[in-house]
Chain A
Amino acid sequence: EVQLVESGGGLVQPGRSLRLSCTASGFTFGDYAMSWVRQAPGKGLEWVGFIRSKAYGGTTEYAASVKGRFTISRDDSKSIAYLQMNSLKTEDTAVYYCTRLSRGHDAFDIWGQGTMVTVSS
């Protein structure tokens, strides 16, 4: 079964850091770009960033709202994608979803269950 499982969420104070993990199974992880999408409580979906597969350079892109603070990385040997979040702000409070980008169409075709991040003092 194709599956993504996020972990690492929790309560963190403003200005602190947190790292989320996304463990993949059921597909060849290294062949796909991976992305993070978040959803603040009661709000819509917001793309956070993505990391391309190694075949496409493994490069990253980020939303303006997180650029310079968040970093996405991947460990293809472990089938894990990471989201390192630094200098967290209260407005980063959201459910964070790990997603797979489909090849050829760049749609988010597989989603994890999400992990909640609450930034509060």
Chain B
Amino acid sequence: DIQMTQSPSSLSASVGDRVTITCRASQSISSYLNWYQQKPGKAPKLLIYAASSLQSGVPSRFSGSGSGTDFTLTISSLQPEDFATYYCQQSYSTPGFGQGTRLEIK
């Protein structure tokens, strides 16, 4: 199985900050990497697919990059509604998720 490792596990930031979350795969997954946002008590929501493609309806302050084993999710200017937990997920083989990154208000 391909292991997905996110860093950091948690992050404190302020409204307006630029934030980057990283995800590393245990082997190359090309661009088969997706990002999700989950708020407490809610289902996850797809933000980015194929490493860098923005899902319809997702604000342009979210962006993704990377290929192979190293990927990043960047939020260019944090908004109050962005405080949530973020997960990466590989779709190169049987699906697997990272452990999550909790983004909290500083």
Contact = CB atoms under 8 A, between A and B. Distances in A.
Task: Return the 4 tightest CB-CB contacts between A and B, nearest first.
Answer: A106-B91, A111-B43, A107-B49, A107-B34
B95 A35 contact: yes
Nearest to B94: A61
Interface string A105-119: 111110111100000
B46 interface: yes
A46 interface: yes
Interface stretch (B10-18, B19-27, B72-80, B96-104): B96-104
Interface residues of A, number: 21
Interface residues of B, number: 23
B36 A44 contact: no
Nearest to B51: A105
Contacts of B43: 97, 111-114
Contact of B34 (A61, A105, A112): A105
B95 A105 contact: no
A69 B95 CA distance: 19
A47 B50 contact: no
A93 to B, nearest CB: 17
A47 B45 CA distance: 15
A114 B43 CA distance: 7
A108 B99 contact: no
A45 B95 CA distance: 11
Nearest to A62: B94
Residue of A50, A63, A106, A107 with most partner-chain B CB within 10 A = A107
A47 to B, nearest CB: 4
A108 B96 contact: no
B52 to A, nearest CB: 11
Interface in A65-110: 97, 102, 105-109
